[in-house]
Amino acid sequence: MELWYTEEHTKNVRFSIKVDKQLVSFKSEFQRIDIFESKEFGRFLTLDGFMMLTEKDEFIYHEMITHVPMAVNPNTKKILVIGAGDGGTVRELVKYDHIEKIDMVEIDKAVVDLCREFLPSTACKLEDKRVNIYYEDGLKFVRSKHNEYDIVIVDSTDPFGPGEDLFTREFYGNCFNALKDDGILVNQHESPYYEADAIASKRANKQLKAVFPFATVYQLHIPTYPSGHWLFGFASKKYNPVTDLKADIWNSFGIKTKYYNTELHKGAFALPNYVKELISE
């Protein structure tokens, strides 16, 4: 008998991975958490049946959500990370010795605990002394913050279920207030390819544009996400992510990456016409 994980990307498209064994099946207060073992992608995490990460391709997501804003404002000292219970975003951020404080807000402690046990490749730096973990609602947490962070990274699940409130104009407005005068927000922005995902991407970009002076998207390729074509949002009070890229400074840090580099950084903001049309409508 063969065991397969299958995710429905649309009513007409499904994506499957052959599974060697299931390591975790747990129902938390907020969602169902499953972790599987596979030959092709290693261990992978799903929440409510939706793919969150695999050991084989998670580096793409986590490098692009962290190093892009860090290369635009390499002097960053204080960062707020919302979501990111798997620890991959924090793992990338602690590579910067000059970052002083990383506040991570994750609503579901069970995700963190299970990733620490079964996905140590991503959760390996959560014990860093600069990391403060808060197990609470990100929307409520950020309401009380004003002029405190250089960068806010919203590493959330999809815009339904526990992550739904992290795609609203109210939330982005609170993030704006939490950021310093030259602050940057980066968020998970869905895929522009399939219709339902594209609607979510367009809505998220529209909400960011209503709050920030500058808001756009950048792209990356993640093989295990719907269509493989994925977007992150970039919003800032001051910086243009291409013209204000500090490539020389970032390269001087000597940070080892598998996907991100400063040439790719500029190219990631060169968008296909269908994506340009989507966010300009």
- Catalytic residue numbers read 155
d(CA 186, CA 68): 9
Q: How far apart are CA 75 and CA 70, in angstroms?
A: 8
Helix axis angle for 169-178 and 195-211, nearest 10°, is: 40
